[in-house]
Amino acid sequence: MTTPAPVQTNKAGLSKNDYRGLPSTLCQGCGHNSIANQIITACYDLNIVPEEIMKFSGIGCSSKSPAYFLNRSFGFNGLHGRMSSLATGALFADTTLRAIGISGDGDTASIGMGGFKHMVRRNAPIVYIVENNGVYGLTKGQFSATAEVGLNLKHQGTNQYMPVDICMEALASNATFVARSFAGDAKQVKELLKAALSHHGVAVLDIISPCVTFNNQEDATHSYTWGKDHEAPLHEISFIPALDEIELQGEFAEGTVREVSMHDGSTVLLKKLEKDYDPTSRANAFQMLESTQLNNWLVTGLLYINESKPTLTETFNLVDTPLNRLADPDLRPARETIEKINAMMF
Amino acid sequence: MSEKVINDFSVTIATVNGSGSQTANVTLLRALFKMGIPVSGKNLFPSNIQGLPTWYTIRVSKDGFVARRDEQEVVVTLNPVSFARDLASVRPGGAFFYADDIRLPIARSDISVYPMPVKQMARAANVSPALRDYIANMVYVGILAQMLGIDLETIKQALSFHFKGKAQAIDSNFTTIKTAADWATQNLKKSDPYSVAQMDSTSGFVMADGNTAAALGAIYGGLQFAAWYPITPASTLAESLNVFLPQLRKTTDGKQTYAVLQAEDELAAVGMAIGAGWGGLRSMTSTSGPGISLMAEYAGLAYYAEVPVVIWDVQRIGPSTGLPTRTAQGDLTEAYFLSHGDKQNIILLPGSVQECFEFGWKALDLAEHLQAPVFVLSDLDLGMNQWMTKPFEYPDTPLERGKVLWEADLEKLNGVWGRYKDSDGDGIPFRTVPGNKHPSAAWFGRGTGHDENARYTEDANTWENNMARLKKKYDTARTLVPKPVIKAAKGATVGIIAYGSTEPAVEEALALLKQAGGPKTAFLRLRALPCTAEAQDFIKKYERIYIVEANRDGQLRQILSAVLPDQAHKFRSACHSDGLPLTAKWVKEAILAQEEK
Ligand SMILES: Cc1ncc(C[n+]2csc(CCOP(=O)(O)OP(=O)(O)O)c2C)c(N)n1
Ligand code: SF4
Ligand SMILES: [Mg+2]
């Protein structure tokens, strides 16, 4: 008789299964599915307790995916383009929780653009993922605002307008963490997710996530083939949680590695590839986006990071107890005060 | 001079917007109040920061009637642009005060005319040129005080309140007032019959506006999160939160138990409030009609996903941008049906400043109790004007937090529960909120079809059952919302229904109807929708029901006709909307005209 192999667990004592969601109802091969899987892995690797995460989304195929990971986390799949506001309010409920938001390119770059930019500007502490496929998947293949000029889509004709670059928009709104990746590059997605989850503030992740059903022609910017051929990673990225710091030291050769320390003591290691890119400079990030766009490259990696800005909820000097656990005596002013208030009226 | 009229007339003051006349006007109002005379003040202002004509109308009423009147016995004008119109508005036998630098013809011999050397006295005042326009307003305060008999001591008290005890500001203003009063004594001979005299009818009252009251009520209701976007006439509600929350709701170590956020638009404001409500915070937003329109889709999400949130609508006249600084009760049907699909919303209708306070906390209780959006419909008149009001009363019930399960509760249930399950038969399910660490606590909120466990489903029966439960929950709300205030009348065959800020006009109209030998009339002031059993009984009891409202379409009548179709034949609308608060005279005449038919 063989004994069943022991279930592998992480430092939180949880198995991979504890991080899963419901079976996906998205198309097979949809980029969104692989992102959901990397979220599961990243949370497992970081030993995050699912109950300490909140999930948010708008409306779209992408926005459905929070149902497909972290079943034990609270979640809210709200309105099209309105994840930003819904999550902003919810973040105040219990500031000890982390938040992951999943949006689409339509959800963020069209109907939700205003809210997105304001959420970014406020440095709301959330991992804001845009699953960017250049189309509206759920409404069956219309152009999104990130579609490239000249893209031909069935029933839609040819797109005439310049695409919105989500990373550029995020940077312009003073995002404190901006990264781009490609759903087909599982390792990079995972490492960026881990860095984003440890970031102090808003972490915008623009992940090119091909829609195999409505936008996967070989030459379309958001397709697998194009993505694979044109992806130009800025650097190889590894995220190292605070606890593991010492173990991994030797892996990267001196001089080719750049360390970025995160607020919680963990580190992102960027292995130099093409050039010595400095992700702490906003000007560099703009320049990188501009030049790669001119060369028709899909630049991926951590474009910008700034760990020093206070988050939205930090600016409020809230009590330590989560607000949603406060009760009567903390919430209702004492009886004596009413007389003073009335005396303040004329 | 005809027979003296004491404590029973209206004063209108015409100035230029942005000239600082607000301080002068409110000072007069408060001084009269301190003299014990029932009084009301209404600011009829343009949507403009500086330069357009603006009027302030004060009514003194020994009988305690504080509704606006169209008739003006005393008119003061500092504005050449509105001069002709102001002059024409004085009632025969009335008094007209004007700034004597305005050199325009005065072709009326049926009134008393008093020139005021406003410019000259302002120049003589010991203030910087920048403050001259401002101090000019104090000239009419002094002259009116002298000519009407307003006690200068009460004026000083009003100034002291306004300037928060700052001696220099109080003194410089008071000096001008006193100089102007002395000038009037020496130079003006009173020839009109209107004056005031000390009474004792305002003790036990304070003066406040509805928006301040609403904010304070919410604070005493344990408000934890508010998001808003600036709009007249609602802005001062959120701004009052910013004033009073730090005073009332910081811990001893200076930390906040609340957060107020100015959002990028109303859509985001209500979204944030709903996010916070879902997160377990007592949460609200405040806006006016245009903002409510933007909130429509989100209101449906809160209704269907069952998220507590309070939405204050300080109404102004619409549609569209309308007249942003004029009042109306035109958002009732919008709020009632707000958002697509089947639903009715819960609406509270405060009828006084005191009630703005009371509904400020009650709305939060109801929202959490019912897990639903609760709308509170105030209006510009109630929200922005100073009213005599009973002092705010400390809430008489503890915070109602509704059916929230925490870790220990779930432990007892062995983790077995259903987010949208009607376990108690009242249509209200249980909920958990983020941060609850019990492994069966989490659920996935959504505006899409869901079953009792919040799982996505398109099953036809499940959809219909859930919608039936939501309807049942609305019936539960019917038993929980504030009951109407009913003033019965023996032998009455006619009933009046009104709500919100029209109450003083209706109260006075009842007296006028009596004087005019009109029908015996009972009065119900509706304080909420859904329509409670008491309101339904009232409607059934009378032969004819007049529904008085400050809108064009008779919106409450539309709703009540749908709720009680078999009673609809009784309903008659007395509705009117021109941006001004209704007058008692108009209400009386609207009713009498239909009675004669
Ligand atoms: C107010 C509103 N308008 C339109 C829609 C219809 N709608 C649903 S999803 C969607 C677009 C989704 O595109 P995207 O955000 O790119 O997500 P994807 O499906 O591509 O992942 C639209 C327009 C809606 N749900 N709500
Ligand atoms: S339609 Fe496109 S975006 Fe939607 S699930 Fe299918 S592949 Fe994914
Ligand atoms: Mg898309």
Overall average pLDDT of the B566-587 stretch: 97
* Pocket mutation for ligand 1, best pick of A77, A110, A133, A138 (most atoms within 8 Å of C-beta): A138
Strand ranges for B263-406 from DSSP E: 283-287, 309-315, 346-348, 373-379, 386-389
Confidence (pLDDT) at B341: 98
Distance CA B209, CA B352 (A): 9
Q: Which residue type is seen at A268?
A: V
Confidence (pLDDT) at A248: 41
A residues 56..75 contacting B (CB < 8 A): 66-67, 71-75
Residue A247 pLDDT class (50, 70, 90 cuts): very low
Q: Which of A55, A73, A82 sits opposite B271 (nearest CB)?
A: A82
* Burial category of B103 from C-beta neighbours within 10 Å (exposed 0-12, middle 13-18, buried 19 and up): exposed
If one compares B290 and A276, the residue with the highest pLDDT of the two is: B290
> Is pLDDT above 80 for A243?
no
Which residues have C-beta within 8 Å of that of residue A183, sequence separation ≥ 6? A31, A32, A34, A35, A131, A189, A207, A208, A209, A210, A227
> Is pLDDT above 80 for A2?
no
Q: Name the CATH code of domain A16-317 (choices 3.40.50.970, 3.90.330.10, 3.20.20.140, 3.50.50.60).
A: 3.40.50.970
Q: Which residue has the tokens 């109801």?
A: B366
Residue A273 pLDDT class (50, 70, 90 cuts): low
Residues of chain B neighbouring A332 (CB-CB closer than 8 A): 220-222, 395, 399
Which structural domains are found in chain B, ordered by start?
A: 5-195 (3.40.920.10), 208-389 (3.40.50.970), 407-480 (no CATH), 485-595 (3.40.50.920)
User: Over the stretch B248-301, which tens digit does the pLDDT of each residue have?
Assistant: 999 999 999 999 999 999 999 999 999 999 999 999 999 999 999 999 999 999
Q: Where are the alpha helices (DSSP H) in chain A?
A: 31-45, 61-64, 83-90, 105-109, 113-121, 166-172, 186-198, 224-230, 282-294, 328-331, 337-344
Q: Residue A85, Cα to own-chain centre: how many angstroms?
A: 16
> Is pLDDT above 70 for A155?
yes
Q: Which residue type is seen at A260?
A: V
Q: Residue A217, Cα to own-chain centre: how many angstroms?
A: 26
Q: Residue B108, Cα to own-chain centre: how many angstroms?
A: 38
Overall average pLDDT of the A56-61 stretch: 98
Residues of chain B neighbouring A67 (CB-CB closer than 8 A): 444, 456
Distance CA A164, CA B194 (A): 69
Distance CA B361, CA B397 (A): 10
Q: Are B433 and B483 in contact (CB under 8 A)?
A: no
Kindly list the distances between the CA atom of residue B184 and the CA atoms of A146, A155, B457, in Å, as whole numbers in the listed order.
73, 82, 79
> Is the CB of A93 less than 8 angstroms away from the CB of B276?
yes
Specify the DSSP class assigned to residue B182: H
If one compares A253 and B477, the residue with the highest pLDDT of the two is: B477
Within 6 Å (CB) of ligand 2, which residues are found? Answer: A 26-27, 30, 32, 61, 133, 137-138, 211-214
Which residues have C-beta within 8 Å of that of residue B352, sequence separation ≥ 6? B382, B387, B389, B390, B503
Give me the residue spans of the domains in chain A: 16-317
> Is the CB of A317 less than 8 angstroms away from the CB of B254?
yes
CA within 13 Å, CB half, A104: 34
A residues 192..231 contacting B (CB < 8 A): none
Facing residues of A261 across strands?
Answer: A267
pLDDT-wise least confident of A67-76, A223-232, B497-506: A223-232
> Is pLDDT above 70 for A257?
no
Q: What is the least distance, in Å, from the CA of B494 to any CA of chain A?
A: 39
Distance CA B241, CA B244 (A): 5
Query: What atom of ligand 2 comes closest to residue A138's alpha carbon?
Result: 4
> Is pLDDT above 50 for B532?
yes
> Is pLDDT above 50 for B75?
yes
User: Over the stretch A178-217, which tens digit does the pLDDT of each residue have?
Assistant: 999 999 999 999 999 999 999 999 999 999 999 999 998 8
Task: Give just the sign of the alpha carbon dihedral B219, B222, B227, B228.
Answer: negative
* Pocket mutation for ligand 1, best pick of A139, A146, A207, A216 (most atoms within 8 Å of C-beta): A139
Q: What is the least distance, in Å, from the CA of A76 to any CA of chain B?
A: 4
3-state secondary structure of B32: helix
